């Protein structure tokens, strides 16, 4: 047995009453998160984005391999290329690749191949899954549940950005291979999604959609 264990730092024991109000307050806060497509170009400090990435990096991961990478693009020349590459894939998606069923499912969201937000928003965070690690001597380290781990980290990142007061858009151009080239990421990293972050534009509109009720998303057995 080689486990190195320490006492749980900052252990808490809230009363039921406290947890009741904390959980409700958090729900009231997170339910205000909306995916936004109209971004303001107003600047946001990089340190805010860094704090949110640090929060994401606290996510649990298979064997603590932390198989994620967050590549950040501020307002710069790369933006035009990112938009062009993404829109190329998106046109292909909307015009050729997407099944009628998929297009029907997207209809209520009002999305199309125009991705102007990729140039407008102050930050793009390209999230990569490290399929395997590489040691300084070049040998490979196996990663476990890498996709699940990065999904959890991304959820924390979106929550942290919302908590900071920023809006996000989880953008999934497909295929996303071009992100490796633009963000100069190695072969062992696979693009997971492109997160757009910034202030929502004044007067931004969002789809009139609802989240499911507790009874629809949850069940009990005794
Ligand atoms: N990637 C495309 C299409 C798209 C797919 C899903 I699933 C969405 O929830 C929204 C859009 C795009 O970004 O437009």
Over residues 190-199, the pLDDT tens digits come to: 999 999 999 9
Mutational pocket test of ligand 1: of 111, 117, 173, 176, the residue with most ligand atoms within 8 Å of the beta carbon: 111
- Low-confidence stretches of the chain (pLDDT < 70) are 1
- pLDDT of res. 73: 98
Over residues 125-160, the pLDDT tens digits come to: 999 999 999 999 999 999 999 999 999 999 999 999
- Specify the CATH architecture of the domain 36-202: 3-Layer(aba) Sandwich (3.40)
Measured distance CA(183)–CA(177) in Å, rounded: 10
**Residue 62 CA to ligand 1 centre (angstroms):** 28
Mutational pocket test of ligand 1: of 82, 93, 103, 106, the residue with most ligand atoms within 8 Å of the beta carbon: 106
Full-model pTM: 0.96
**Residue 138 CA to ligand 1 centre (angstroms):** 37
- pLDDT of res. 174: 85
Contact 128, 190 (CB under 8 A): yes
- pLDDT of res. 2: 87
Could you tell me which residues come within 8 angstroms of residue 98 by beta carbon, excluding any fewer than 6 positions away? 106
- 91 φ, ψ (degrees, to nearest 5): -60, -45
């Amino acid at each position: 047995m080689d486990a190195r264990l320490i006492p749980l730092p900052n252990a808490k024991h809230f009363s039921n009453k406290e947890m009741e109000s904390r959980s409700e307050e958090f729900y009231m806060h997170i339910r205000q998160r909306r995916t936004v497509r109209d971004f303001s170009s107003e600047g946001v400090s990089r340190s805010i984005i860094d704090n949110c990435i640090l929060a994401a990096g606290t996510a649990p991961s298979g064997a603590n391999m932390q198989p994620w990478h967050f590549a950040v693009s501020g307002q710069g020349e790369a933006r035009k290329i990112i938009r062009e590459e993404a829109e190329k894939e998106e046109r292909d998606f909307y015009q050729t690749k997407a099944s009628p069923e998929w297009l029907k499912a997207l209809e209520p969201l009002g999305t199309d191949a125009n991705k102007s937000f990729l140039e407008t928003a102050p930050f793009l965070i390209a999230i990569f899954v490290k399929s395997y690690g590489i040691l300084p001597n070049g040998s490979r380290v196996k990663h476990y549940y890498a996709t699940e781990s990065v999904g959890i980290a991304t959820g924390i990142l979106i929550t942290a950005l919302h908590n900071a007061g920023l809006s996000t858009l989880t953008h999934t151009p497909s295929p996303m291979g071009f992100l490796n080239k633009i963000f100069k990421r190695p072969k062992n990293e696979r693009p997971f999604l492109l997160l757009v972050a910034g202030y929502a534009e004044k007067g931004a509109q969002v789809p009139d959609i609802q989240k499911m009720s507790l009874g629809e998303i949850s069940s009990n057995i005794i």
